[in-house]
Amino acid sequence: MSALGEGVGFSIQMDQLAQALKSTFGYESFRPLQREIMESVLGGRDTFALLPTGGGKSLCFQLPALIREGLTLVVSPLIALMKDQVSQLEAAGVAATFLNSSLGVRETKERLRGLHEGRYRLLYAAPERLMLDHWKENLAAWNVTGIAIDEAHCISEWGHDFRPEYRQISRLREMLRGVPIMALTATATERVRRDIVHHLKMPDPAVFVASFNRPNLFYRVIPKEQPAGQVVEFVRRRPMDSGIVYCATRATADRVAGSLSERGFKAVSYHAGLTNAERSLNQELFIRDEVRIVCATIAFGMGINKPNVRWVVHHDLPKNLEGYYQETGRAGRDGLPADCLLLFSAGDAAKQTHFIDEMTTPQERDIARDQLGLMIRYADCPNCRRHDLLRYFGETVTDESCGACDNCLEPRETYNATTQAQKFLSCIYRVRQGGSFGVGMNHLIQILTGSENEKILRWGHNRLSTYGIGKELGKREWGAIGRELLRLGLLALDGGQYPTISITEAGIEALRSRQMIHLTKPMSAPKAPRTPRIGGIECDETLFDRLRKLRKRLADERGVPAYVIFGDNTIRQMARDYPVAISELNGIGGIGERKATEFGKLFTDEIATHLETYPRVRFRDSE
């Protein structure tokens, strides 16, 4: 491995970074932390990098691989992800390859020959393949000068997508002594970060943690009332956009996909109940824009590099905020505006609690309950949703409003709920006063609403003075009030196998003093929700659609996804600037030298043809 990191040679390499960024990938400037991460990598130091989805993680190891000598080994978890990234690199003129089980014997041998001959700059491989007996000799012979571990959170048991095979990666330390390791992830709490560094045996890594904020995503939560109709209505307002509907079960994913298909939308399902061939086909159809919608369990998305997913809907409540952040992060990877909608119901929370109760160990149950509690609070909270997400990952937030979530754009009203709060607090107090055991939220609501179910009668709770004093409200309204009182710290959720509700000292004081209590009104589904356009590129939409069709045709001819040709950002910029000569493409992001040579004339000719019929559009922000 060549010595890097000091003197004039290192400075020259830093200049080469900017040059390669422009000539190969067509970008004028780096995204936040990219350059610092690359400098650390080229300096030969172990590096941990946490960049949000869409923050340009892949470039952090791809660009240094073009500058330093030798081969960069990229450990990647999914076949689809490897294939996708290699296709994009090849389109940009980069010598890259992958080795996995999707290849036949002949193709594998040809790629191995190329590796022995030094033809490639990057090699993508799954962790289990690296541990095969003959790979130690192969890696030693291929002049590996850098190792990148993509999706590094898979190493940690505390991560949301732990994979045991990732634990074997640390053996690369012995197999490739002295070769620096780079670990990359888009989502990891402080605990997961420490776990990754520990298991990869990185004694003194350079650590880079970017903001978790995805400013182009709009977050909204609405009550789950008629989910099939709500999903259809949401999709109907986005006729040209690709999106993902996440569902809690395989049956729900199939049902939602069927419902959308019956109404004329191109939708498929994706889950572990399908065969490998069915999953691969449905994923490929989505990536190639043959279908717009995938209805999936959480099994879908990690290996998807599709940058133009314009929306993500959660049909059911996620288990935790980390998974929710990761799944919503699959929208808007290109930096253009994208919508994230969560359908929330207390019934979904109860189902998740039931699944948690079936976990094997008390520790697993307690962790899962805590995580679910935070997820429910996010769904119910009246405050900025973006701030809630960022605080979960330990990020300090100073602004009061993000302007890009439902609670900031359409703040919910508050109301004087002193009477209702007194009834709820009194009910818990009387239950505790009259017996030695606690009860859960649903049981308390049944007491308030005068239910005559078997447990109420058996435990004598129909004789409490608070029995039936809340008949003026339904179960849903009382549930919302109970969750608000929990959020305000007047109630507490006690642990154990069957969590119960207790009144806190603050709650007792509020009860005794008849303290005035204002609560936030429950959320409702607006008939015409306001969704701001966040960071979009205003362009000639007719021309954009025309260029998108050209891109699709070129992609189909080459057997690659459309975004391998150009991303939406690039063709939107073309549809704004109207370049009619290849020289005018300079300055449009995403067009490197190879792509300008191969595709430039086709797109500039298409624009020129368009202008023969249609006038140029004047844009508001350029006047």
Inside any domain, residue 351: yes
Find all residues with CB under 8 Å of 283, minimum gap 6, and list them: 80, 270, 294, 300, 303, 304
Domain contains 181: yes
> In this structure, are strands 217-223 and 338-344 parallel, antiparallel, or unpaired?
parallel
- The answer to whether residues 557 and 512 belong to one domain is no
Q: Is residue 2 in some structural domain?
A: no
Do 249 and 363 sit in the same domain of this protein? yes
pLDDT at 529: 58
Residues 65 and 185 in one domain: yes
Q: Domain boundary at 209, 229, 250, which?
A: 209
Average pLDDT over residues 56-68: 93
Mean pLDDT in the chain?
88
Structure tokens at 586: 């300079």
What's this model's pTM, rounded to 2 decimal places? 0.83
Q: How deeply is 179 buried, as exposed, middle or buried, from its count of CB atoms within 10 A (0-12, 13-18, 19+)?
A: buried
Residue 223 contacts residue 250 (beta carbons within 8 Å): no
Residues 317 and 251 in one domain: yes
Q: How far apart are alpha carbons 431 and 436 in whole angstroms?
A: 9
Task: State the alpha helices, DSSP H only, in 435-579.
Answer: 441-448, 454-458, 475-487, 505-513, 541-558, 562-565, 568-577
* Structural domain includes residue 530: no
pLDDT in tens, 389-427: 998 888 887 777 888 999 999 898 899 999 999 999 999
Widest Cα–Cα separation across the chain: 86
Residues 189 and 53 in one domain: yes
**391, 409, 427 - which closes a domain:** 409
8 Å CB contact between 442 and 461: no
CB-count exposure of residue 463 (10 Å: 0-12, 13-18, 19+)? exposed
pLDDT of residue 197: 92
d(C-alpha 68, C-alpha 51), whole Å: 23
Neighbours of 441 (CB within 10 A): 22
Structural domain contains residue 536: no
**8 Å CB contact between 90 and 310:** no
Same domain for 446 and 587, yes or no, is no
Give the CB-side neighbour count of residue 395, counting CA atoms within 13 A: 19
Is residue 457 domain-shared with residue 605, that is, in the same domain?
no
52 or 252: which leads in pLDDT: 252
Q: Can you give the pLDDT at residue 294?
A: 96
- Taking 90 as the threshold, does the pLDDT of residue 546 lie above it? yes
**The domain that contains 591 carries what CATH number?**
1.10.150.80
Tokens 């776990």, residue located: 195
**Highest-confidence segment of 159-163, 501-505, 520-524, 606-610:** 606-610
Rg, C-alpha atoms of the chain? 27
Task: Give the pLDDT confidence of 561-592 residue by residue, as tens digits.
Answer: 999 999 999 999 999 999 999 999 998 999 99
Residues sharing a CB contact under 8 Å with residue 143, sequence separation 6 or more, in sequence order: 1, 69, 70, 71, 118
Helical ranges in 240-381 per DSSP H: 250-262, 276-287, 321-328, 346-357, 362-380
Any idea what the CATH number is for the domain that residue 252 is in? 3.40.50.300
**pLDDT band of 172, cuts 50, 70, 90:** confident
Please check whether residues 170 and 298 belong to one and the same domain. no
Is residue 32 helix, strand or coil? coil
Q: pLDDT value at position 296?
A: 93
From CA 414, how far away is CA 58, in angstroms rounded? 45
Which amino acid, residue 156?
A: S
Are residue 106 and residue 238 in the same domain, yes or no?
no
Q: Which of 473, 480, 418, 484 is nearest to 448 (CA)?
A: 473
Contact 305, 293 (CB under 8 A): no
pLDDT at 4: 38
DSSP state of 176: T
Query: Measuring CA to CA, which residue among 587, 590, 555, 553 is closest to residue 571?
Result: 590
pLDDT band per the 50, 70, 90 thresholds, residue 5: very low
Tokens found for residue 126? 């799954």
Q: What is the CATH number of the domain that holds 438?
A: 1.10.10.10
Residue 436 is part of which domain span?
A: 414-520
Coil, helix or strand at residue 405: strand
Would 174 be classed as within a structural domain? yes
CA distance 392 to 380: 15
Residues 180 and 287 in one domain: no
CA atoms within a 13 Å half-sphere pointing along the CA-CB vector of 411: 11
Of 166, 181, 209, the position where a domain reaches its end is 209
Which of 379, 289, 294, 296 is CA-nearest to residue 343? 379
Residue 3: the pLDDT is 35
Looking at residue 525, the DSSP 8-state letter turns out to be: -
Q: Which pLDDT score is estimated for 499?
A: 73
Q: What is the pLDDT of residue 8?
A: 38
CA–CA separation, 492 vs 500, rounded Å?
Answer: 8
Domain count, the chain: 4
With a cut of 50, say whether residue 119 has pLDDT above it. yes
Pairing of strands 267-270, 293-296: parallel
Which range has the worst mean pLDDT, 37-46, 127-136, 284-293? 127-136
Q: How far apart are CA 87 and CA 236, in angstroms?
A: 32
- DSSP string over 85-102: HHHHHHHTT--EEEESTT
CA 494/CA 373 separation, integer angstroms: 12
Q: What is the pLDDT of residue 158?
A: 65
Match 């990877």 to its residue by tokens.
333
Residues 384 and 434 in one domain: no
CA proximity to 406, closest of 218, 212, 534: 218
Residue 533 lies in a domain: no
Asked whether residue 438 falls in the same domain as residue 550, the answer is no
Chain position carrying tokens 């959320």: 523
End-to-end Cα distance, the chain? 54
pLDDT digits (tens, 9 = 90+) for 194-238: 999 999 999 899 999 998 899 999 999 999 989 999 999 999 999
Q: Is residue 531 in some structural domain?
A: no
Per-position b or e across 403-418, b if 16+ CB within 10 A of its CB: ebbbbbbeebeeeebe
